[in-house]
């Protein structure tokens, strides 16, 4: 697991914005040390894993984040679905931004 948090979070009032990066196959982002409550989480993959540009409809540009509101742990799953089942872990490395109430 290679999730890293940037060293300078941004605060406004009792809200906090934290940014960082995650690697391929990372499955969770543990934000418990920063937040008492998470409001939103966004991701921007740094590269797509599918190198065949002719198949743009099959490219997966975004992994999916699921926020567990009671633990403040974010689960990362692949953005592509095989028979309706999402695979655990990021299929792209990327950057994230989390917004929430300071812990």
pLDDT tens track for 54-87: 444 444 556 678 888 889 898 888 766 666 667 7
Entry pTM: 0.78
Reduced to 3 states (helix: H, G, I; strand: E, B; else coil), residue 72 is coil
Q: Which residue has the higher pLDDT, 57 or 34?
A: 34
- Our CA angle for 36, 41, 22, nearest 5°, is 105
Residue owning tokens 């953005």: 79
| Contact of 77 with 87, CB cutoff 8 Å | yes
| CA dist list (Å): 95 to 5, 46, 50, 59, 85 | 10, 7, 18, 18, 24
């Amino acid at each position: 697991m290679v999730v890293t948090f940037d060293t300078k979070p941004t605060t406004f009032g009792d809200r906090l914005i934290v940014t960082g990066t995650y690697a391929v196959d990372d499955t969770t982002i543990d934000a418990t040390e920063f937040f008492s409550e998470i409001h939103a989480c966004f991701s921007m993959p740094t590269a797509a894993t599918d190198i065949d540009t002719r198949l743009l409809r099959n490219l997966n540009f975004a992994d999916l984040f699921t926020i567990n509101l009671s633990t403040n742990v974010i689960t990362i799953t692949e953005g592509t679905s095989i028979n309706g089942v999402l695979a655990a872990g990021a299929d792209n490395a990327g950057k994230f931004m989390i917004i929430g109430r300071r812990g």
